[in-house]
Amino acid sequence: MEIGGIEHCRGSITTEEDSPPGDGVQASAPRHFNFELVDIDDDAIDEEVEADEETVETQRNITMERIVRRKSAGSLLQKVIPFHWAPMLTPLTECDVEACETLEQLAYADSERRSTKELVEYRIRKCGNLCFGLFNTYRPDDARDWWIGTLPHSRPVETGREDNAKHVLFAHILATLGKDAFVADDDMRCPEDWRTTTHCDCSPLGHKYSGRTICLHSFAVCPEVQGIGIGKRTLKSYLQLMNESEIADRVALVCRPVRDIHQPKYSAPIYL
């Protein structure tokens, strides 16, 4: 069938070279193409056009919904954080132990789920390349009535700065390395003498320097800024950093049913 003077077909054609081979020239082998005439139905074309229009309309609606969600999220973020938002995900240091301990208490109402101060300090000091915090600069003059639970533990951006700008902790991730694909009970503990002894992989407890599994023990976001997408972006950025560093092959999360705290803990791996 012809459409606009062009015949639509698919299938196989067999052709051979028209001229015989000359001296020293070998004849080309026949070339084969599959060839099959196809009768195109006008109604089918109309249905395809309608389907394409429906697909375009669906994609347009999805795009508009995404734009609306982004604008709504941006407006909500501006209400919750009424100053310039340019956060940085940086490694935690010993100076952040107090802020992280406070964040653990604020984010986890269940004391069994939160990390103790000793575990927070142990993980930050022994696994500084795995423990990260989300910080943002806060100037008191920008929002005098603004408050967040970790604000009392914020650190000055510069000593003697006139605007008293501070680095405020909004979220943190505490992790160690393990040798198994899942988080074991021993991975969640620390040696009793870790402050005075340099431990290696011979210790069954805590961080394993040669492990290839990132055991993610704590992922906490300040309650005052929860529900505006900070946690999602933080975890996504963290996984990207770990993937680029090639420090491990997977990330293992500790999971437990929320409704029944007496259920045993489970561990779920995420492969990088």
CA angle 85, 88, 90 (to 5 degrees): 160
- Name the least confident of 34-43, 89-98, 132-141: 34-43
What residues contact 30, with CB distance under 8 A and at least 6 apart? 14, 15, 16
Separation between Cα atoms, residue 86 and residue 184, nearest integer Å: 36
What pLDDT is recorded for position 33? 39
Residue 235 tokens read as 């975890």
What pLDDT is recorded for position 174? 97
What pLDDT is recorded for position 68? 54
Fold for the domain defined by 86-271: Aminopeptidase (3.40.630)
For the chain, report the end-to-end CA distance as a whole number of angstroms. Answer: 53
pLDDT in tens, 158-189: 888 889 999 999 999 999 999 999 898 899 99
Residue 175's closest CA among 228, 111, 247? 247
Domain boundaries, the chain: 42-80, 86-271
Residue 253's closest CA among 243, 234, 266, 235? 266
pLDDT in tens, 202-253: 788 989 989 999 999 999 999 999 988 899 999 999 999 999 999 999 999 8
What does pLDDT average to over the chain? 78
What pLDDT is recorded for position 41? 53
